[in-house]
Amino acid sequence: MGKKGYLILENGQIFEGDSLGSERYIEGEAVFSTGMTGYPESFTDPSYYGQILTMTYPLIGNYGVPARRKKLQLLAHFESEKIQIRGLVMSSYVQNASHWQSSESLSSWLKKENIPALSGIDTRTLTKILREKGVMNAIMTFEKPRNLSGFTFYDINRDNLVSYVSTKEKTVYGNGKLKILFYDCGLKLNQIRIFLRYDTTIIRVPWNFDPLKEETDFDAVFVSNGPGDARTMPETIRSLKEILKRKIPTFGICLGQQLLALAAGGDIYKLKYGHRGQNQPVKDIVSGKCYITSHNHGYSVVERSLPSDWNIWFINLNDNTNEGIRHEKFPFFAVQFHPEANPGPTDTEWLFHYFVNEAKRWLKIT
């Protein structure tokens, strides 16, 4: 293990641990995830951009990190091209990883990508603080703090975080009948992988792409997940308002749901400690079925703010917050959870097929 490091919360509480990654000073938002497995996918999920992630499962690193290889132009085993978390906190690091696909240790990967990480932290106490007080700004430093007067805590959610993780240029995948304009707000690669199974062409564009100014032929729209506060993205909201006005089939996931709600005239709010993990139960209000789903979000839709022609689709059975919305007449809908999983259960992966079928039916594509 490396030198001692310190996680300092904005409320003044300090946690000392052992370094296993890069040893540099960072600022971020302290959050926690209840997932037991899937850390290569989680750490590369752009929705975590700017966050110092605490893993509640006590043993991390026990199956190492898989090799980087591409399939269909996309990295396998990872959800973006690099680690997106700002820093990592865990209880126990497993140095001797064991898995047939492992190519390096977690510590080696973190150091290579310049990500600070601490083990030996009392993550139960830390998680209880974040659960009871709410997520908060934090610092990770490798110099022993003498007092807190010299530290400043920056709120990352003031910034448009999506602008840091979105693609910078248009990219096309596949050659199917249904052309989907795919807003990359910090997408997870598995969303593209799944859509390509269903006779689609994916046109991946930046978060601020204006379909009215750009000459792009498309049939339907998808809005991905991503980090931060959707209200920092007025350009995307304006474009989505026009898309809805033109009755173009539209599907959003996570941040995409929040953007769609804002474009429809609704509002969003920040959750106390968010939903992060792969074990969240949601209920389909239409069918009455319950699904276990993967989550990574800190904001939710204010249900009462939605126009009367938008209906509640899914709710969270832990805290009754909104997990899905849909228009009563037109093919517009969104979910707050991650049906693409990676990591997590694939119980709701059918939503991708459902969107493709609904779009084709609306557009009369056979």
Active-site option among 27, 29, 41, 340: 340
- To the query of whether residue 338 is one of the catalytic residues in this protein, the response is yes
Active-site option among 185, 254, 297, 327: 254
* Residues 6+ positions from 61 with CB-CB distance below 8 Å: 39, 90, 93, 94, 95, 97, 105, 106, 107
Cα end-to-end span (Å), the chain: 59
> Cα(345)–Cα(22) distance, rounded to whole angstroms?
32
Helix axes 255-263, 234-245, angle to 10 degrees: 60
- To the query of whether residue 254 is one of the catalytic residues in this protein, the response is yes
The pair of structure tokens assigned to 230 is 């959707």
- To the query of whether residue 340 is one of the catalytic residues in this protein, the response is yes
Active-site option among 29, 295, 338, 358: 338
> Cα(282)–Cα(75) distance, rounded to whole angstroms?
29
CA Rg value for the chain: 20
Q: Which amino acid is at 338?
A: H
Helices (H) and strands (E) in the chain, counts: 8, 23
> Cα(323)–Cα(345) distance, rounded to whole angstroms?
16
* Residues 6+ positions from 210 with CB-CB distance below 8 Å: 235, 239
Active site (catalytic) residues: 254, 338, 340
